[in-house]
Amino acid sequence: SAYLISKANFIACHYPIFLEKSDMLKDIKEGGTFLINSPVESGEIWDSLPVSTQKTIIDKKIKIKFKRFSNANSWLGVESGNG
């Protein structure tokens, strides 16, 4: 059976390019948590986000969690022969 979530407490973005292509945070609850996996350093993550995403984070008081991956090919499984 299908479960429809109208408002999420937690959203994760594993491919930062998606932030430029869609409004991933439109259905997050106010005060929800947003996990970002990204190749950028933690001090640069805010500036790497689209302005529209930054605005949503501020307006909805979203908590940000950050996970840095150092090698996108490795992270995507290319080096291990899975990609």
pLDDT tens digits for range 11-30 = 999 888 889 998 999 999 99
pTM of the model: 0.76
Q: What is the rounded distance in angstroms from the CA atom of residue 13 to the CA atom of residue 34?
A: 8
Task: Determine the 3-state secondary structure of 29 from DSSP.
Answer: strand
Task: Determine the 3-state secondary structure of 7 from DSSP.
Answer: coil
Which of 1-5, 26-30, 31-35, 59-63 is predicted with the least confidence, judged by mean pLDDT? Answer: 1-5
**Among residues of the chain, what percentage have pLDDT more than 90?**
51
Across the chain, mean pLDDT equals: 83
Q: What would the DSSP string read from start to end of 56-79? A: HHHHTT-EEEEEE-S-HHHHTTTT
Say which residue the tokens 């790497």 belong to: 48
In the sheet where 28-38 sits, what is the strand order? Answer: 8-13, 28-38, 63-68
What pLDDT is attached to residue 83?
A: 43
